[in-house]
């Protein structure tokens, strides 16, 4: 999905000597991913009948947020400052989210990077219908790989509250970032 962000871009034009550059911000650049599946770990799904489950399990799913695909092509070579602002998981189907005891979003470094994984969002509000994450506006541009941020959503769920036949959970994912842009005219 490509948004025409220039009308939404708060723009400033500056010149210092012979250098001309454009600065601006796109607030709430969002990505919606409907019906994403979170599967229980294979070892949990393979347990024979009668074997007790551990008290809690962690269900993880990795996603990619293509930030630059939502910016105009003219800004593809711009310097970006990115902060993952918020995320919401909304339950779909017969299962709800009451079993989720904790949740976090971890930013994954590019494959060739020495950067560590970084927890950027933690669950701020949970209900049977949705989990809402909030976070600080951290600088995430070093984690970009070809304009894409990769992140893992981890849900810690109580097995005592899970239906017996639970193998997967379906949820809509809505993630939003704040993006600041600096584009040097000389480039």
Residue range 129-181, pLDDT digits in tens: 999 988 776 777 788 877 788 999 998 888 777 766 566 788 999 988 877 77
Residue-wise pLDDT for 36-48, tens only, equals: 888 877 777 677 7
For the entire predicted model, the pTM comes to 0.77
Domains of the chain, by residue range, sit at 6-184
pLDDT of residue 75: 64
- The rounded Cα 187 to chain-centroid distance in angstroms is 30
């Amino acid at each position: 999905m490509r948004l025409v962000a220039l009308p939404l871009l708060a723009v400033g034009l500056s010149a210092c000597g012979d250098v001309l550059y454009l600065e601006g911000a796109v607030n709430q650049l969002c990505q919606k991913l409907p019906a994403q599946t979170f599967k229980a770990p294979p070892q949990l799904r393979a347990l024979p009948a009668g074997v007790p489950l551990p008290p809690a399990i962690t269900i993880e799913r990795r996603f990619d947020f293509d930030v630059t695909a939502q910016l105009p092509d003219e800004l593809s070579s711009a310097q970006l400052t990115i902060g993952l602002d918020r995320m919401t998981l909304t339950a779909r189907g017969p299962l709800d989210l009451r079993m989720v005891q904790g949740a976090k979003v971890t930013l994954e470094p590019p494959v060739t990077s020495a950067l560590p994984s970084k927890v950027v969002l933690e669950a701020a509000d949970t209900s049977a219908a949705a989990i809402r994450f909030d976070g600080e506006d951290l600088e995430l541009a070093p984690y970009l790989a070809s304009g894409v941020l990769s992140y893992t959503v981890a849900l810690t769920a109580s097995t005592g509250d899970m239906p017996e036949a639970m193998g997967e959970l379906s949820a809509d994912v809505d993630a939003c970032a704040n993006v600041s842009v600096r584009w040097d005219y000389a480039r």
